[in-house]
Amino acid sequence: MNSALRAFAAVFALCALMASAEPQALDTAKVKRRWRESLALDLPREVLSEGEALVRLGEELARDGEALALVSRAVAATREPAFESAWKLLESREVEATTRADLELERARLLLESDQLSRALIALLEKPESNAPRFAERAESWLFTGRAWFRSGDASRGAPFLARFIELAPRDREAPAALHLLAQEALSRGDGATAQACVRRAEELSRWHALWKVRALQARERPREALPRIGLAQLWLQAGDVAEAKAQLTLLLTLHPNNAQGWFLLGEAQRMERDFEAASESYGKALEFEPDHVLARNNRGTIHRLAGRMDAARTDFERIVDGPRTNEPTALPAHLALARLLVAVGEPQAAQQRYARYVELGGREPLAEPRR
Amino acid sequence: MRGTETGAEHPRVGSGSGTDLWAQGKGEKVTERPPERQSEAPSGAVARGGAAGGLLGSVSPRMMPRALQLASALGALALAACGPDSATAVSPGAAGDLMDEAEARGVAHRNRSGEAVKATVLEANGPGVALLDLGRDGDLDLAFSDGVEDLAALLQGPGADLVLYENDGNGKFRRLPGPGLAGWWTGLASGDVDGDGDADLVAAGYGGLRVLLQDDAGVLRPAQDLLAAEPAAALVPGTARGANLPPLWATSLALFDADRDGALDLYVGCYLDLDPVAPPRHELGSGALAVPCTWRGYGVFCGPHGMVPQPDRFYRGLGDGSFRDDSARALPEHVAGYALAVANFDFEGDGDEDLYVANDSVANLLLVNDGRGVFTDVAYSAGVALSMDGRGEAGMGVAFGDVDRDGDLDLALTNFSGEPTALYFNGPRGFSNETFRFGLQRETAPLLSWSVHLADFDGDTRLELFTANGHVYPQADNPDTGTRYLQADTLWRLYAAGNERKLERIAASGPTSVLASPTGSRGSALGDLDGDGAPDLVIARIDAPPALGMNRFPKQNRLVVRCVGPLASERIESAARQRTPTDGSGARIELVLAGSDARPLVRSISTAQGYQSSSAPEAYFGLGTASEYTEIVVRWPSGRVESLGAGRAGRRLTLREGMGIVKDETLR
């Protein structure tokens, strides 16, 4: 595409975006979030299609260092020559003070990606011998500095920077790569245990990110389908990010209000937030649409039990252990929970019977409640 | 692809109320791979001045005072260690470089690799080439692999044969009849597998793995079919085939002597499961969980991500031209990757041949030989499994050579676009990644490179780096991809002295240079086609005729060394019970030049380098201005070390183990 056509497309995209946004102001946080996701999914053209025009012409985003950095990254991924095209976008930009670090860090990243390692270090470090980068509160600052030292062949100098990056951003998309470098540095010191731990964590995170990418692409491809969003919500729950999980589930349940698994996962998110009553209600909604949802019933029963609602708890647990899925592994906790509940309400014989069944199914936990 | 069901596991959740009775939907099991190739943002080159000027050249005004302050400190502290920070020099076109003379020399067939749109990954990977002497006349003849129109045509038959050319001794070629194979052929490896003194060939393919033995008339005759006992692994064109039966897809091969018994063994790099009857198109999986196959937002063919990688194989050579599958013993802990390239070389200097395997999109392998032909992967601890940033990259081609002249063999590895061609220096504690210090990121990130060579093309004693380039996706020509489908091949001079690293791109000296025009290069093989002692390059190109890159650098002093071991019929039992293969595979040659630099130039005889290709089993030395050498030391795979005295340049020497120079020819 020639530059005139490209400019026309960009202005068109901007107009379309502004028209769709009227009369409300542009939600810049939302836009930047979308761009971040596009870049993570290797879809830089999505950022370009609206980003270039917005940062050039848009009032607000043109002074937003983070927005500029995201668009610059998309430009570097799509234009030739990459460095010059992206650098040009960042040149002579005055941005809001709060987003200046984003701009400076993107410049440093560009220097790093064009093998200008010394210049990248100058841009990143407060002082040459410093153990802290200029923007010490920013995880990328530590990542880029560590990477610059590693690329320079000085792994021992880069390792502390990468370690700090992992502390600040333990689940970042770049964390697996940083962990691998830390593992190799540990190996070079003969520290096999640290290396192994780093590799394990890196592989775990890599799997998570790979799955996230697949699910996110599926969700984009078929935005009205339930399964990809359920997958995304599960991944976020697994990562402990309840807010992200709830965002996916809210969208899912708006589209599919009768989706039992969606309600169950919302219950899980609420439980992780320790909002047990809300969780109980969500589990209840799941059971409304899928009465044999073992996990939802078990967890609702557990909440009843913790709240002292013994009868309600007993009803839920009995429904599982006397139900059609009693022999399934997912039902195992309900067998134990019911046995313990029976002890608590003074029915030791019944409790023993239930406990024997639990053991028969492969359970290994003691009947006695653990001390808390 | 149902990863969303709740299932058998019920892990405890730490954030709960403390009870151990919570049940939770299990975390997703990893049964899938990410959907498409990911590539980092490519970067471009920046022209700057010298070190001091370049250091501050484009630092923003706001940064300037601090930058000035830091620059002097970092200058002493880090610059030496930090790599180029200066633009890569481009040498002006010399009188010549690697000039394509294919058509004039009679090499003009057109490769067929599926359709131009590249609907499946098989169609994108393209051909390889082998250089081998047919007819024992001392010159190098050519064999090219080839494919057909598409998978349907392959199933229907008759499939493609190999394409052969005979050299007339002056570097002019005549097409020969093919050996009569039928299939979709990929990688080629040449070597004397039956120990009779002439070169044989092994052809890898999608559903094929065939040994071809050269007879006394110099004709390649199909011999052992290594997939004969595996009907599912073999794809026989014209034979009915059910769905969901992906054949073996062999890519690059290495013929080398793993156990030092004098018989060549065979490593087979394997790619992935591709169902020829119902290959995935546009998406992987089905229904709500289907994943579109995209790159940069454009729909492209599927793979390798999301498809099942095939494990590599190892065949033990029996010395008579036949092999038996010994994968289980030789590769006991092998993890399947998507192997695209393999090279054998002695990485630790212990006398046996190790292997480096370039895997597409996952960690590469450095397989260390225990001396008996059992291999253990040490790539991770040696620092050559992942990129310098700790990522698995799309390894496409591999080459080795002593770039820093410290006596051990260094590695070059090509990668996907967005990922640099990597250069690793071998050292006492594994490899150091020199990619960024040379400035290879900015030079090579926009390129998708396949075959690679480290060779002294210009004859100045230093090794150059050649990469054969071309993207897999025709969609690379769409707007805003940051790269192109057809790409010119590239050649760089490498300078490494102390901490200094420098890269100099060699510009095309004219329109017929192989470096001049964007093409779709894939495999390439190195060898002296016209007898002048300078290594030429044969480049196999996808959907196009090959190139013969004839070496036209200004004339330098050169020396070519061939090594010959005993014939199979003359088997010698040495004390160590180790033997040198008949074609000298694995021999290490050290050449000491006259003059003040006593560091030898080191070469190792191996045909497996680049991508899906097989180079000549010869060592090419550029002697620069030196017209003589003071010593040649040969370390034979048998364990014998021979030293030959001083001699003149300008010769092609054939060395026979235990007998010194048995043939001495003057270079043209």
DSSP B386-405: S-TTS---B--EEEEE-SS-
Residue A61 binned pLDDT confidence (cut-offs 50, 70, 90) = confident
Q: Shortest Cα distance from B353 to chain A (angstroms)? A: 24
**Which of A122, A225, A370 lies at the smallest CB-CB distance from B70?**
A122
Find out whether B128 and B577 touch, Cβ atoms under 8 Å.
no
- Which A residues in the span 170-229 are in contact with B, Cβ-Cβ below 8 Å? 176-181, 183-184, 187-188, 199, 202, 207, 209-211, 213-214, 217-218, 221-222, 225-228
User: Average pLDDT, stretch A229-247?
Assistant: 97
Phi, psi of A173 (to 5 degrees): -60, -30
Answer whether A217 sits within 8 Å of B294, measured CB to CB. Answer: yes
| Weakest mean pLDDT among A19-28, B21-30, B116-125, B186-195 | B21-30
What are B421's strand-pairing partners? none
pLDDT at B72 over 60: no
pLDDT the model gives residue A52: 84
Nearest chain A residue to B363 by CA: give it: A180
B328 touches chain A (CB under 8 A): no
**Which of A85, A274, A298 lies at the smallest CB-CB distance from B23?**
A298
Nearest chain B residue to A372 by CA: give it: B18
User: Average pLDDT, stretch B639-656?
Assistant: 97
| Weakest mean pLDDT among A353-357, B36-40, B288-292 | B36-40
Pairing outcome for strands B141-144 and B163-167: antiparallel
Pairing outcome for strands B500-506 and B89-91: parallel
pLDDT at B71 over 60: no
pLDDT the model gives residue B224: 98
Q: Which of A111, A122, A154 to mutate to test the interface with B (most CBs of B within 10 A)?
A: A122
Answer whether A228 sits within 8 Å of B429, measured CB to CB. Answer: no
What average pLDDT does the structure give for chain A? 91
**From the CA atom positions of chain B, what is the Rg in Å?**
25
What average pLDDT does the structure give for chain B? 88
**Which of B23, B58, B439 lies at the smallest CB-CB distance from A115?**
B439
pLDDT the model gives residue B429: 84
A255 touches chain B (CB under 8 A): no
Residue B598 binned pLDDT confidence (cut-offs 50, 70, 90) = confident
Residue B24 binned pLDDT confidence (cut-offs 50, 70, 90) = low
Rounded to whole angstroms, how far apart are CA atoms B631 and B642?
10
Residue A54 binned pLDDT confidence (cut-offs 50, 70, 90) = confident
User: Average pLDDT, stretch B624-653?
Assistant: 96
User: Average pLDDT, stretch B585-607?
Assistant: 94
Give the CB-side neighbour count of residue B310, counting CA atoms within 13 A.
Answer: 24
CA angle B8, B14, B20 (to 5 degrees): 60
Answer whether B78 sits within 8 Å of A228, measured CB to CB. Answer: no
Answer whether B390 sits within 8 Å of A177, measured CB to CB. Answer: yes
- Which B residues in the span 415-454 are in contact with A, Cβ-Cβ below 8 Å? 418, 429, 432-437, 439-442, 445-446
B389 touches chain A (CB under 8 A): yes
Q: Which of A39, A83, A92, A118 to mutate to test the interface with B (most CBs of B within 10 A)?
A: A118
Answer whether A329 sits within 8 Å of B10, measured CB to CB. Answer: yes
| Weakest mean pLDDT among A119-133, B59-73, B95-109, B473-487 | B59-73
Q: Which of B43, B63, B305 to mutate to test the interface with A (most CBs of A within 10 A)?
A: B43
pLDDT the model gives residue A60: 74
pLDDT the model gives residue B286: 87
Predicted confidence (pLDDT) per residue in B369-391, tens digit: 999 999 999 999 999 999 988 89
pLDDT at B16 over 80: no
Which residues are CB-neighbours of B328 under 8 A, at least 6 positions away? none
**Which of A45, A153, A330 lies at the smallest CB-CB distance from B23?**
A330
Residues of A in contact with B297 (CB under 8 A): 43-46
Q: Which of A116, A242, A290, A341 to mutate to test the interface with B (most CBs of B within 10 A)?
A: A116
Rounded to whole angstroms, how far apart are CA atoms A280 and A259?
16
User: Average pLDDT, stretch A194-216?
Assistant: 96
| Weakest mean pLDDT among A125-134, B45-54, B374-383 | B45-54
Nearest chain A residue to B10 by CA: give it: A330
User: Average pLDDT, stretch A156-167?
Assistant: 97
End-to-end CA distance of chain A: 67
Nearest chain B residue to A80 by CA: give it: B482
Residue B571 binned pLDDT confidence (cut-offs 50, 70, 90) = low
B286 touches chain A (CB under 8 A): no
Answer whether B442 sits within 8 Å of A42, measured CB to CB. Answer: no
| Weakest mean pLDDT among A117-131, A165-179, A245-259, A318-332 | A117-131
Sequence length of chain A is 372
Residue B610 binned pLDDT confidence (cut-offs 50, 70, 90) = very high
Rounded to whole angstroms, how far apart are CA atoms A162 and A173?
13
pLDDT the model gives residue B196: 96
Answer whether A81 sits within 8 Å of B85, measured CB to CB. Answer: no
Find out whether A264 and A282 touch, Cβ atoms under 8 Å.
yes
Residue B472 binned pLDDT confidence (cut-offs 50, 70, 90) = very high
pLDDT at B93 over 90: no
Predicted confidence (pLDDT) per residue in A305-334, tens digit: 999 999 999 999 999 999 999 999 999 999
- Which B residues in the span 80-99 are in contact with A, Cβ-Cβ below 8 Å? 81-85
Phi, psi of A311 (to 5 degrees): -65, -45
pTM across the whole model: 0.88
- Which B residues in the span 175-214 are in contact with A, Cβ-Cβ below 8 Å? none
User: Average pLDDT, stretch B363-368?
Assistant: 98
A265 touches chain B (CB under 8 A): yes
**In the 3-class helix/strand/coil scheme, how is A198-260 assigned residue by residue?**
HHHHHHHHHHHHHHHHHHHHHHHHCCCCHHHHHHHHHHHHHHCCHHHHHHHHHHHHHHCCCCH
For residue A29, what are its two tokens?
């946080």
Nearest of B248, B218, B220 to residue B233 by alpha carbon: B248
pLDDT at B244 over 90: yes
Find out whether A159 and A185 touch, Cβ atoms under 8 Å.
yes
**Which of A176, A217, A340 lies at the smallest CB-CB distance from B35?**
A217
Rounded to whole angstroms, how far apart are CA atoms B481 and B488?
17
pLDDT the model gives residue B87: 66
Q: Shortest Cα distance from A299 to chain B (angstroms)? A: 6
pLDDT at B572 over 50: yes
Residues of B in contact with A265 (CB under 8 A): 25
| Weakest mean pLDDT among A39-53, B543-557, B574-588 | B574-588
pLDDT the model gives residue B63: 35
Predicted confidence (pLDDT) per residue in A259-309, tens digit: 999 999 999 999 999 999 999 999 999 999 999 999 999 999 999 999 999
pLDDT at A82 over 70: yes
Answer whether A122 sits within 8 Å of B74, measured CB to CB. Answer: yes
Answer whether B290 sits within 8 Å of A221, measured CB to CB. Answer: yes
Residue B22 binned pLDDT confidence (cut-offs 50, 70, 90) = low
Residue A55 binned pLDDT confidence (cut-offs 50, 70, 90) = confident
Residues of A in contact with B19 (CB under 8 A): 302, 305-306
pLDDT the model gives residue B67: 43
Predicted confidence (pLDDT) per residue in A4-21, tens digit: 444 444 444 444 444 444
Report the share of chain A in percent with pLDDT over 70. Answer: 92
Looking at per-residue confidence, does B442 or B70 come out higher? B442
For residue B452, what are its two tokens?
């690679």
pLDDT the model gives residue B23: 64
pLDDT the model gives residue B564: 97
In this prediction the ipTM stands at: 0.86
| Cβ pairs A/B, distance under 8 A | 296
Residue B407 binned pLDDT confidence (cut-offs 50, 70, 90) = very high
Q: Which of B31, B423, B438, B480 to mutate to test the interface with A (most CBs of A within 10 A)?
A: B480
Residues of A in contact with B441 (CB under 8 A): 113-115
pLDDT at B57 over 90: no
User: Average pLDDT, stretch B314-333?
Assistant: 97
User: CB count, 10 Å around CB of B375?
Assistant: 25
pLDDT at A22 over 70: no
**Which of B36, B78, B386 lies at the smallest CB-CB distance from A180?**
B386
* Strands in B271-409 per DSSP E: 283-284, 291-292, 294-295, 298-299, 313-317, 323-325, 339-345, 354-359, 365-369, 375-377, 397-401
DSSP B310: P
